[in-house]
Chains A and B, each alone.
Chain A
């Protein structure tokens, strides 16, 4: 019955004028509460963004609360970060104590605590996605996952280790595998998400990462040679050297950023284009150029307003995401029944504490 129409299954109907009062009161309240309000601020922002996102014939609804985000953060602080800090201090103390056994134990504790932190990163990515799906309602139906994410966390550590082999050549494979593993554990209503993304074409976008440093070195050598020729007395003008260094650095950073964007754009398209939910198929249409515009726009917004514009970054990111998202296929409302996944009780505290947010 609900068929994808000509104007697109997804539509973002928000306006920044409507969002501005939310953004500015959020900013003000976050400042006077020394950051405490940020959990409620994020909730208000999402509630607005979700409610301005139409999918087929109804809008999305965000039902998360600031309180659960706040409690989630507190819990993570208490259960995870404090023990890790204590462990690190203990390890430091053991190393300096001097006894051989103490030193060995101390030295072993360091990589162990970092490995643990890394696994937590994987857990955080999984749980943030699960939390967001479980708080997103459409037609009174929500998403979620039956998995807790612990297996994913282990897999994340393993894939990252393997990805770093052979000069990191396997990173695209690791990223795509993790994308598939993550989404295949998620569901919305009665339907599981199915993701079958491949690394096809990703390598072409990934290899330039190795080329940029090489090119920079070659350029540096050429530049040094040219400057050396110019200087008649063999003493190059220091201004040339400094200027050349700055130009090279900017070139290096800019090129690396571009390569990163082009890779990420392909990765994201690959991921979403191979995602299905029941009889729905998805497509993401943003090309490297669109990502570049988004990134430069966000940067300009923040810089030109001396940071105040940062309040609009999540708005821009969400609008970008929805405007480039397409869906095809059919969804039968009769069969579209409520999710049976357990609803997680706490928010994305872990994700926050490890500083991984996007919207």
Chain B
């Protein structure tokens, strides 16, 4: 029985209906009748083009537009020679759809996981000198508002020493009413005077400072910048948008994990220095309370919004207090007074 196929030769749009005849060498076939170019053609040169299950169309390698289309299922001696049509794509067809999806899904999860882990990795890869220069540039403008008295500086130094600050960390008090503290890259820690005026004891300031030192130790500032600005940070030369970066850090919302890490660091430092964590817990509670009172909202919102306060955080500090431990104040009365009056006698707010 003859097998007729629809045939286009790719040169003219004329449709022919020749018979397809397998050759003596079973790897080849010829087209007979209806003015078709008889060939011979190699089965191996056929490219599947068919899309529906009741029609099988094939092209020929190197002959765009050349087509044969079987109108019914071809006889078995031809069918076995025909290439299988691709369905989802070469690799996926070979591997199986569901198996491919499974493997690809695992790969996708790994890729996403790795991408999420990338910012801390990149942040740690940035050279220390670059990070320090960046930090100094960011503090830049704020630095001109830095308060400095001999006694105040000495008190700040003493507080840092109690918390065993690293040599690379610079702590400044800035004359601004915000109840806030920031850790810029390169160990540039800024305490706002508003925070010191709001504190009831030096232990509270020590807790906040410990928290910021934790951010410094964990490179959280740099990581947050990498997260927000990505490659732009590295490509653009950080000189171009330094004030933007500074603002971003001032309003940074660190991840819950970063906050918990910094809290843990602060608690560790407080403990090592025999400073009670209870005042810090009280500060958190008081800030939350004051925030509810009308009139204070704008002032306190800043610190609370950038450091999401939850009762669990307050509790962590509370629970870290050891019964029977002998705590010493972070600063003596004279030092505390010097710190509070660093930015002038009149409170800045």
Q: Which residues of A contact B (CB under 8 A)?
A: 25, 28-29, 31-34, 37, 40, 44, 47-48, 51, 57-58, 61, 63, 66, 86, 89, 92-93, 96, 137-142, 189, 331, 333-338, 343
Contact = CB atoms under 8 A, between A and B. Distances in A.
Nearest to B111: A34
A29 B240 contact: no
Q: Which of B9, B49, B97 has the most CB of A within 10 A?
A: B49
B240 A48 contact: no
Nearest to B235: A89
> Interface SS of chain B: helix, strand, loop or mixed?
mixed
B243 to A, nearest CB: 10
Contact of A25 (B10, B88, B237): B88
19 contacts: A25-B97, A29-B92, A29-B100, A32-B101, A32-B108, A33-B104, A34-B111, A37-B89, A44-B88, A51-B51, A89-B237, A89-B240, A140-B8, A140-B9, A142-B65, A333-B13, A334-B12, A338-B10, A338-B11
Contacts of B105: 32
A141 B13 contact: yes
Interface in B72-116: 88-89, 92, 97, 100-101, 104-105, 107-108, 111-112
Given A25-B97, A40-B89, A333 B52 contact: no
Contact of A29 (B10, B13, B104, B112): B104
A92 B8 CA distance: 58
B101 A140 contact: no
A337 B12 contact: yes
A92 B241 CA distance: 9
A269 B199 CA distance: 73
B57 A61 contact: yes
A337 B11 contact: yes
Query: Which 4 A-B residue pairs are closest in the complex by CB-CB distance?
Result: A140-B8, A336-B13, A139-B13, A140-B65
B346 interface: no
Nearest to A49: B51
Nearest to A39: B89
B49 A333 contact: no
Contacts of A141: 8, 10, 12-13, 65
Contact of A137 (B51, B65, B108): B65
Given A25-B88, A63-B49, A140-B66, A338 B12 contact: yes
Contacts of A33: 104, 108
Nearest to A189: B13
B53 to A, nearest CB: 10
B239 A140 contact: no
B51 A48 contact: yes
A343 B64 CA distance: 10
Contacts of B107: 32
A336 B240 contact: no
Contact of B14 (A37, A93, A334): A334
Contacts of A63: 49, 59, 64
A244 to B, nearest CB: 30
Contacts of A32: 101, 104-105, 107-108
Nearest to B47: A63
B236 interface: yes
B8 A139 contact: yes
A92 B236 contact: yes
Nearest to A86: B235
B13 to A, nearest CB: 3
Given A139-B13, A338-B12, A96 B66 contact: no
B15 interface: yes
B157 interface: no
B232 interface: yes
Contacts of B10: 140-141, 338
A1 to B, nearest CB: 10
B67 A140 contact: yes
A93 B242 CA distance: 11
Given A92-B240, A140-B8, 17 more contacts: A32-B104, A33-B104, A48-B51, A51-B52, A57-B15, A63-B59, A66-B89, A92-B241, A93-B237, A140-B66, A141-B12, A333-B12, A336-B13, A337-B11, A337-B12, A337-B13, A338-B65
A9 B120 CA distance: 61
A169 B1 CA distance: 69
Given A34-B108, A51-B52, A139-B15, A93 B88 contact: no
A61 B51 CA distance: 9
Contacts of A334: 12, 14
A148 B111 CA distance: 38
A89 B232 contact: yes
Q: Which of B57, B88, B235 has the most CB of A within 10 A?
A: B88
Contacts of A66: 89
A47 B65 CA distance: 15
A9 to B, nearest CB: 15
Contacts of A333: 12-15
Contacts of A189: 13
Contacts of B239: 93, 96
Contacts of A142: 64-65
Nearest to B49: A61
Contacts of B88: 25, 29, 40, 44
B89 A47 contact: no
A203 to B, nearest CB: 40
Q: Which of B12, B105, B232, B239 has the most CB of A within 10 A?
A: B12
Interface string B10-22: 1111110000000
B236 A93 contact: yes
A138 B14 CA distance: 11
A189 B14 CA distance: 12
Nearest to A332: B13
A140 B52 contact: no
Contacts of B65: 137, 140-142, 338
Interface in B1-49: 8-15, 49
Contacts of B52: 51
A37 B91 CA distance: 12
Contacts of A47: 51
Contacts of B59: 63
A96 B236 CA distance: 11
Interface in B115-136: none
A160 to B, nearest CB: 29
Contacts of A61: 49, 57, 67
